[in-house]
Amino acid sequence: MLLSVLDQSPVAEGATGADALANTLDLARLADQLGYHRYWVAEHHGGPMLASAAPEVLIGPIAAATQRIRVGSGGVMLPHYSPFKVAEAFSILAGLFPGRIDLALGRASGTDPLTTFALQRDRTKAMPDDFGQQLAELLAHLEDALPPEHPFVRLPRFLPGRPHLPEPWLLGSSPQSALWAAELGLPYAFADFINPSGASIARDYQARFADGVRAPRPLTLTAAWVICAETDDEAQRLAASSRMTLRLLRRGQLIAVPTPEKALRYLESEGVGAGGALPGRRGIIGAPDTVRAGLEALAADYGADELMVVTITHDHEARRRSYELIADAFGLSSLH
């Protein structure tokens, strides 16, 4: 089982976005040393909790700071961008770091409607819902496969990183993304930490996959929300921070990641204990044996080839330790 990291660059209460970005580089170095397979950075805009607004900017410094691990976007929210511009940016990254760059693409905005509007270049009208066309154009740029009559037909040959290319992935948390990934023959990354009912969607992708279009077989990655600590109780204590942020998020309130102590006081005032369920989410939380069993069960449910772990804690050292314990539980160090 391959294990990977999804980093949203969480901003702890009392810290800055710059601190969060420095922590991202630190965690990437650690993940590389521990034997994780990929390190993806997310795209979120306009809030106090996550500093990962521009994965295309973060990927270069991360790849430069590491040696082996694949680095990529988890993901680029394509509706905000020109497909050709994305192709150019990731072509440069692939040229600088051959064989290590992933381009995972998403359809969501990664933010609220007002911030989505602020990201638009043309604010005279709403953005069209043309993700399918954007995705097809981007793939055609990377593969130099535009039709001869296409007005952009000469552009792909000048992508600056050629002959090196990023590996394209499709992100998803809904049935539609699985259909696109299957039809296009793309690897598929499902966000279980957003939609914990995705096993049937992943299985549908695998069943419908168009062999040989781009890959010889379906490749399924499942991203899960995980916190690992020395004991189950300590992991549950650390998870209180995310429980508080998620409860407030459901009410439209965005905050930086609080301390566990503050979060526990808040949850108690809400009548929710330290081990209360994540609102509408699945969390794999506990000591190493607990987490390994949970991740193995998740992989079996999804028929996953790879698991990607997203962990948010107030304390960066606790986040580092979580990834260390998971790596030890799965014997990653012995594999590399």
Question: Any idea what the CATH number is for the domain that residue 267 is in?
Answer: 3.20.20.30
Looking at the chain, list the stretches that DSSP marks H as alpha helix, in order from N- to C-terminal side. 17-34, 55-65, 83-96, 113-119, 131-143, 175-184, 199-208, 232-249, 260-269, 288-302, 316-329
Using pLDDT thresholds of 50, 70 and 90, give the confidence band for residue 277: low
Please compute the mean of the pLDDT values over residues 283-297 and round it to a whole number. 97
Which amino acid is it at 34? L
- Check residue 101 and give its pLDDT: 98
Using pLDDT thresholds of 50, 70 and 90, give the confidence band for residue 274: low
Distance CA(235)–CA(226), nearest Å, equals 9
Specify the range with the lowest mean pLDDT, choosing from 1-10, 17-26, 56-65, 269-278.
Answer: 269-278
Distance CA(22)–CA(35), nearest Å, equals 21
Write phi, then psi, for 5 (nearest 5 degrees): -125, 135
The strand pairing partners of 221, in sequence order, are: 189, 306
Q: Residue for token digits 């990927």?
A: 59
Q: Residue for token digits 């990653």?
A: 332
Residue 258 domain boundaries: 2-335
Listed ranges 107-111, 112-116, 215-219; the one with the highest mean pLDDT: 215-219
Please compute the mean of the pLDDT values over residues 243-262 and round it to a whole number. 94
Does pLDDT of 280 surpass 80? no
The answer to whether 170 and 145 are in contact (CB under 8 A) is: no
Does pLDDT of 44 surpass 90? yes
- Check residue 335 and give its pLDDT: 43
Comparing CA positions, the residue from 91, 90, 32, 37 lying closest to residue 64 is 32
Distance CA(19)–CA(333), nearest Å, equals 28
- Beta-carbon count within 10 A of 55 CB: 26
**Bond before 168 cis per omega within 30 degrees:** no
Using pLDDT thresholds of 50, 70 and 90, give the confidence band for residue 334: very low
Rg of the chain on CA atoms, in Å: 20
- Check residue 272 and give its pLDDT: 81
Specify the range with the lowest mean pLDDT, choosing from 36-45, 61-70, 278-287.
Answer: 278-287
Based on the structure, what is the number of domains in the chain?
Answer: 1
Q: Please provide the average confidence, as pLDDT, over all residues in the chain.
A: 94
Share of the chain above pLDDT 90, in %: 85
Give kind and range of the element (H or E) at residue 5.
Answer: strand 2-7
Please compute the mean of the pLDDT values over residues 265-293 and round it to a whole number. 85
Please compute the mean of the pLDDT values over residues 199-225 and round it to a whole number. 94
Does pLDDT of 281 surpass 90? no
- Check residue 322 and give its pLDDT: 98
The answer to whether 29 and 332 are in contact (CB under 8 A) is: no
Using pLDDT thresholds of 50, 70 and 90, give the confidence band for residue 278: low
Please compute the mean of the pLDDT values over residues 168-190 and round it to a whole number. 97
Write phi, then psi, for 224 (nearest 5 degrees): -125, 150
Half-sphere exposure of 279 (CA within 13 A, CB side): 15
pTM score of the predicted model: 0.94
Distance CA(62)–CA(60), nearest Å, equals 5
Please compute the mean of the pLDDT values over residues 273-300 and round it to a whole number. 87
- Check residue 276 and give its pLDDT: 59
- Beta-carbon count within 10 A of 132 CB: 14
